[in-house]
Structure 1
Amino acid sequence: MRGIWVVVLLMGLSSMAMGAEKNYTVKAPDGVEIAVQESGDPAGLAIVFIHGLLGSHLNWDMQVGSANLQKYRLITYDLRGHGLSGKPDDAEAYHDGRRWADDLSAVLKETGAKNPVLVGWSLGGVVLSNYLAAYGDDGLGGIVYVDGVIELNAALITSHPDVYAGMASDDLTVHLDAVRTFLGLCFETKPDTATFERLLSNAAMASWIMTRTVPSMTVSAGLPKARVPVLLLYGGKDVLVNVEPSIARARELNPAVQTKIYPKSGHAPFLEEAQRFNGDLAKFRDAIASE
C-alpha cells in the first residue's frame, strides 16, 4: 500500500514539475529587456507564442493552462512596450520593425528551442513577417498566423479611426475608454468578466508611445521566405482584420500556406474557441515533428 502512495506522490511531483513556470529576461540588441516565460515539458517540442497589440503573455493563459498542451515546451514573451518587458521612451524603438524581429531572435537564441513552431496573434503576425524577412526560417519547425496582420494597409485592416485616435490621445479618460473599446472589438464571444478585466488592466499597462507608433511600424514581406509549413488561422467574425483579403494577400506572397477559419470566433479564436484551437495547434505541431 505504501508503494502505491509513493508512486502517486512521484506522479504528482512530476506533473507539478512539468507545469512549473520559468520566468527570466533576455536583452535585445538595442538593450531593451524582454520578459520571457516558460511552462509545460522542458523536453517537449517547442511552441513560441507572440501576442498582439496591448497584450502580453497573459493572452495565452488558455494555452499555457491547457492539459492537452502540457507535453510541449510552451514559451511566451512580452513584446517591447508591453507587459513586463522594457518600455523605451524613443518612438524609433517601436517604428523600426527590425527591432521587434531582433527581440524574437534574442528569445529564440536564449531558449535554444529546437525547430519551434512560432504562433503570432494579430500584431504578432507583423513580428513573424519581420522576423522571416530578417532571419529566414532556418531552425524553425512551422509558423502559425492567428488573425495575423499580414501587412499594415487599409485593405487588410478594418477602419476604426475613432478608436485608434482615442488610444493615441493624451487625455487619460479618452485613452482608457478607447483601449476598452479596442479590447471589446477583439471578441465575438466576450470572455468572462474576470478574464476581460484582467486583459483590460493588462492593456492599460502598455506604453503610450508604442501605441501611437505601431500604426507606422515598418513591415517587411517575410512570408515568401517561409519554406516551413505555414498555417493561417482566422476567426470568421473578426472586425479588426479583413479576413479574406488577408488570406488572399498571404497566398500571393506564399502559395503554400494552409488556412483555417473558425466561423464563430472574432479576432481571438485562441480564447473564444480555445479547445478547438489547442487541438488544431497540437495537430500542426505533431505533424511537423513526424515529417
Structure 2
Amino acid sequence: MPTITTADGTDIYYNDLGPKDAQPIMFHHGWPLSGDDWDAQMMFFCLQGFRVIAHDRRGHGRSGQTDHGNEMDTYAADVAALTDHLDLKNAVHIGHSTGGGEVAHYVARARPGRVAKAVLIGAVPPIMVKSEANPGGLPIEVFDGFRAALAANRAQFYIDVPSGPFYGFNRPGATVIQGAIDNWWRQGMMGGIKAHYDCIKAFSETDFTEDLKTIDVPVLLMHGEDDQIVPIDDSARIGITLLKHGTLKTYPGLPHGMCTTHADVINPDLLAFITG
C-alpha cells in the first residue's frame, strides 16, 4: 500500500491514479470515512485525464490509528507532507464535510504554486457548534450525543447514520441504496475509535473563519439544501460571505452525501469549475 510517514511517525495511506504529469485533483473525505468515499469522483476524473489522489486521514481507513494529532492543525500538516512528497503543483483540492474543513485549513497555509482552486462540498466551515458568536450553530449536546453513541456501540451508530440523515434515506419516498449504507459502515469500521472520537471535536468546534478569509484562490462551495448533517444556513451561506473569490452552488432537495447519491449531478459541476 502506498503510504508516507509523517514527522510524528504516523503512516498516511493514499491512492494516486492517472497520468503523473496531468493536473492533480486531491480529494479529502468526511468523518468517519476514508478515501474510498470518493470512488465515483476518482473514476470520473481519472477517465477525464486528470491525476487523482485520495488519502485516508490519520486515524481513518488504512492510515495509522493514532491516539494523538486528531485535530485540524495536524490534519493540515499531514496534507502538506503528502503534497510535498508527491510534489503536487497547481492542484485542485476538493473536500467533503470534515474534509472541507481540512481543505480550508490546508489551502490557507499552502505554499505558493501548490493550489490552483478549492471546492468545499457540504463542508463544516466556518464553524458548526452553537455559541454567542454563532447563534445558528448546532448545540454542543448534538456532538456530545455523537460521542456517546460512538463510545457505546460504534458499529450500530455507523449503521444508523448512513441509513438515515447522511444520505437522506429517512425522507419520505427516498430511494434507499443499501450498498451505500454498507460501504459507509465498512469505511467507518476500518478506522480507529479514539481518532474518530477526537475528530468530532475537530469538525464541530474548529473555527475556520480566518482560513476562509485568507484563501486567495477560487473556491466553489457546493451544498445540498436538505443537508441534515451540516445545515446549509450556518455553513455555506455564511462561508460564501467570507471568501475573496467564492462561488456558491446549492442543490434543492439533495442530502449531505450527495457526491454518492447524485454523482451524476455533482461530477459535471465539479468538472465545469475545474476547467472553467
Shared fold per TM-score greater than 0.5: yes
Q: Residues 142 and 89 (structure 1 numbering): CA distance in 2 closer, same or farther, change over 3 Å? A: same
1:256-271 map, 5 Å: 256-271=245-260
CA RMSD between the two structures: 2.3
Task: Please list the CA deviations of residues 54-91 of structure 1 after superposition, one character each: whole Å capped at 9, or x if unmatched.
Answer: 1101101111222774311111000011000011123x
Q: Which moved more, 1:187-196 or 1:54-63?
A: 187-196
Task: State the shift of 1:139 in Å.
Answer: 2.1
Q: Which runs of 5+ in 1 are unaligned?
A: 1-22
3-state SS of 2:20 partner? coil
1:272 to 236, 249, 261: 261
Task: Please list the CA deviations of residues 113-143 of structure 1 after superposition, one character each: whole Å capped at 9, or x if unmatched.
Answer: 2201000000001112221343366421100
Using the alignment, how far apart are the partners of 1:215 and 1:81 within structure 2?
12
Task: Please list the CA deviations of residues 129-159 of structure 1 after superposition, one character each: whole Å capped at 9, or x if unmatched.
Answer: 2213433664211000010000242334587
Task: State the shift of 1:41 in Å.
Answer: 3.0
Aligned to 1:198: 183
1:179 aligns with 2:158: yes
Aligned to 1:207: 192
Aligned to 1:83: 61
TM-score of the two chains, using structure 1 as the length reference = 0.81
Aligned to 1:123: 98
Aligned to 2:124: 149
Q: Which protein has the bigger helix share? A: 1
Q: Residues 162 and 94 (structure 1 numbering): CA distance in 2 closer, same or farther, change over 3 Å? A: closer
Q: Name the aligned partner's letter for residue 58 of structure 1.
A: D
For the pair shown, the structure with the greater C-alpha radius of gyration is 1
Using the alignment, how far apart are the partners of 2:150 and 2:39 within structure 1?
28
1:17-56 map, 5 Å: 23-56=1-34
Using the alignment, how far apart are the partners of 1:265 and 1:156 within structure 2?
20
Aligned to 1:98: 73
Aligned to 1:245: 234
Using the alignment, how far apart are the partners of 2:128 and 2:7 within structure 1?
25
Using the alignment, how far apart are the partners of 1:160 and 1:199 within structure 2?
21
Task: State the shift of 1:186 in Å.
Answer: 1.3
Q: Which runs of 5+ in 2 are unaligned?
A: 131-135, 170-174
3-state SS of 2:275 partner? helix
* Contact 1:128–1:222, Cα closer than 8 Å, also in 2: no
Using the alignment, how far apart are the partners of 1:237 and 1:136 within structure 2?
36
Q: Name the aligned partner's letter for residue 269 of structure 2.
A: D
* Contact 1:163–1:182, Cα closer than 8 Å, also in 2: no
Aligned to 2:146: 164
* Contact 2:217–2:245, Cα closer than 8 Å, also in 1: no
Aligned to 1:188: 168
Aligned to 2:133: none
Task: State the shift of 1:162 in Å.
Answer: 7.3
* Contact 2:128–2:234, Cα closer than 8 Å, also in 1: no
Using the alignment, how far apart are the partners of 1:153 and 1:37 within structure 2?
32
Using the alignment, how far apart are the partners of 1:47 and 1:79 within structure 2?
16
